[in-house]
Amino acid sequence: MSSQPAWFEAGFPHIWTPYSQMKTAAPPLAVAGTEGVRIHLADGRVLIDGIASWWTACHGYNHPHIRAAVSKQLETMPHVMFGGLTHEPALMLAKRLAAMLPGDLNRVFFTDSGSVAVEVAMKMAMQLWLNRGVRHRTGFLAFRGGYHGDTLGTMAVCDPGEGMHSIFTGLLPPQPMLDLPTDTASIAAFDRFLDQHAKSLAAIIVEPLIQGAGGMIFHDAEVLRRLRAAADRHGLVLIFDEIFTGFGRTGTMFACEAAGVVPDIITLSKALTGGTMALAATVASDAIFDGFWSDDPGHALMHGPTYMANALACAAANASLDLFESEPRLAQVAEIARGLKDGLAPCRKIAGIADVRVMGAVGVVQLEKLNDPKVLQRACVEAGIWVRAFRDIVYLTPSFTMDAEDLGRVTGALVRVLAA
């Protein structure tokens, strides 16, 4: 007799799961519910979630304030098309995001996923030049170790060597890819490339402070200041992809704040709704928006997802921002950073560990080699924690509301699994 619930048996033969070869992969774990920082499995087991559902559940699961806001919105208006119509949750959210973001990042374009938010940012940058009558500035300078999404346009600016998209090498529009300018050699290569090729580029795109799914690679704020200066020098649009780093994950509300740098376009998603439903935003500066403000209808940004600015999602996002204002989230991130540094420190003494690094509520253990991430993941489940490894990386991105005791359970379990 199967131990899976009836709904799993009925529906699983019809689903296509992400990032997995379904012929050989173990079936996913059936989840019955979530609460706080815990995932309740259908078989009765309970896991402490060490990665907050791909970094989204920053306030933990089922926060009553967000739940109440969504329920209230559901009674009034779950959704209405955003073409020719608008509504209060979206406009209030846009106003609040503009007020929170640095500089003149004042124009918010809502989408429904991080990949699409980046696609829109790229489209804005390219069309800005087209609106100026310049048709040859179509390239995007991206960086090795970067990851910006799984749609076709964003795949072209992901590191082709990071694995997930390598099968498409040579089939996507070619985009230049450099090392981040972090040392003398890479800075010289970066400057030399721009001196020779800047006039073919529309923009520079980067994940600030931490390159996430490409390998959890850290860099310092000076790199971002260098990119801003280069973009200004060559007249390029600077895009910060803060889908992973935004909303407190690196220790400041947005990673760009740590560098004192204002990009021309910033993309947001993941924790925007506190992990409750899909919503993303591409926020442009006044100068970018002015490049589309015209009597010529052909200069408009012709983009509009069907569920753009979904009222339920905007209500959830507004409630999430309430929590950042009323509860000590950034102080909690600082506490989690200390807990991650202390809790993961024993990993440094384990054979086969190449590096341990922490920034904000991100803890990374890099192995010299990880033959089968699935084996490690199963061991973590048996130890009572939910962690997903990839390539040679095991990472923790807990909810900001995780207390010291639960964080200690997560780090302790991970240390024991790695030591074994």
Residues labelled catalytic: 19, 147, 241, 270
Token readout for 374 is 């699935």
Amino acid at 349: K
Instruction: Let me know: does 63 contact 57? Beta carbons within 8 Å.
Output: no
Q: Based on the number of CB atoms within 10 Å of its own CB, is 7 exposed (0-12), middle (13-18) or buried (19 or more)?
A: exposed
Q: Based on the number of CB atoms within 10 Å of its own CB, is 206 exposed (0-12), middle (13-18) or buried (19 or more)?
A: buried
CA-only gyration radius of the chain, Å: 22
Token readout for 302 is 């012709």
